[in-house]
Amino acid sequence: MRYDTELCRILAKKQLTKDIFDVTVSAPKLAPIAKPGQFAQILVPGKTLRRPISLCGIGRETFRLVFQVRGAGTKILSELQPGEKMDILAPLGKGFPLEGSATHAVFVGGGIGVPPLLCAAAAFSGERTAVLGFRSKNAAILADDFAACGCQVQIATDDGSLGTHGLVTDILKKQHFDICYACGPMPMLRAVAKLCAQRKIPCWISMEQRMACGIGACLGCAVELRREDDSSYYGHVCKDGPVFPADRVVL
């Protein structure tokens, strides 16, 4: 795993919803070594532990980070302004495997699980469908960005205020694809993994777990994994993931 730190100047900042922010930072040292699915650990002024945020976009010399305010740390990050700097440790973890023989990928995202999939969809060379799920129209993010990078986009909302009224899996059941990449809440990941297993289609999921170090040193982000012989063991989301083959995780 190759990673480093960089003081990254905020180049642009947008508010996407009432609590989700879209920040582009300059990262000339880190961006060239980053891959879709990897994440950054961001130092929060006044806090000891860094906060893990996925890479939503990787430019030649920039990172795009889309994050939701969940607690004190992300609130402080959301208040930083263009021109100020973020201390970033990246790129961390293993990303999405995007090369191979698959020709039609489906990217299934739920809520704040959507950002890392945009980065992956932009890098996939075959046909692409994005199936995105949100609570309501007001919480929907990045649909135009998926369309702009060539995806056919389908949206599901819990309240029916945008797209299909229902779950992403209601849409997924009707799709034809030969590889799946997913990130979102655990019940969504379970349902997506099950559907792919029934169809014998490879499925890669990006997991979220509370983290401290982000580099495999504190053993704080344990996840139960499955071996070929079906016995289980504990791995770490930050080092062994965050992206795993769905059939190797005890969901």
Ligand X SMILES: Cc1cc2nc3c(=O)[nH]c(=O)nc-3n(C[C@H](O)[C@H](O)[C@H](O)COP(=O)(O)OP(=O)(O)OC[C@H]3O[C@@H](n4cnc5c(N)ncnc54)[C@H](O)[C@@H]3O)c2cc1C
Interface with ligand FES by CB under 6 A: which range of 81-89, 148-156, 173-181, 215-223?
Answer: 215-223
Residues numbered 217-246 forming contacts with ligand FES, rule: CB under 6 A: 217-221, 236, 238
Respond yes or no on whether the N-terminal peptide bond of residue 116 is cis (omega within 30° of 0): no
Minimum gap (Å) between residue 210 Cβ and ligand X: 4
With CA atoms as reference, report the closest residue to 246 among 97, 111, 129, 134.
Answer: 97
- The token pair that represents 250 in the structure block: 């005890």
| Residue 68 in contact with ligand X, rule: CB under 6 A | yes
Q: Which is nearer to ligand FES, 128 or 239 (CB)?
A: 239
Number of H helices, E strands in the chain: 6, 16
Q: Which is nearer to ligand X, 67 or 181 (CB)?
A: 67
CA 35 → CA 42, 116, 122, distances in Å? 17, 10, 11
| Residue 90 in contact with ligand FES, rule: CB under 6 A | no
How far is residue 171 CA from its own chain's centroid?
A: 20
Quick one: what does residue 219 bind among ligand X, ligand FES, none, with the CB cut-off 5 to 8 Å set by partner type? Answer: ligand FES
Q: Which is nearer to ligand X, 102 or 114 (CB)?
A: 114
Taking the C-alpha atoms of residue 84 and residue 47, their distance in angstroms, rounded to an integer, is 17
| Residue 16 in contact with ligand FES, rule: CB under 6 A | no
Residues numbered 3-42 forming contacts with ligand X, rule: CB under 6 A: 39
Residues numbered 91-120 forming contacts with ligand X, rule: CB under 6 A: 112, 115
The only residue of 36, 37, 52, 133 in contact with ligand X, by rule CB under 6 A: 52
**Residue 14 CB neighbour total at 10 angstroms:** 10
DSSP 3-state assignment of 31? helix
Q: Which is nearer to ligand X, 156 or 243 (CB)?
A: 243
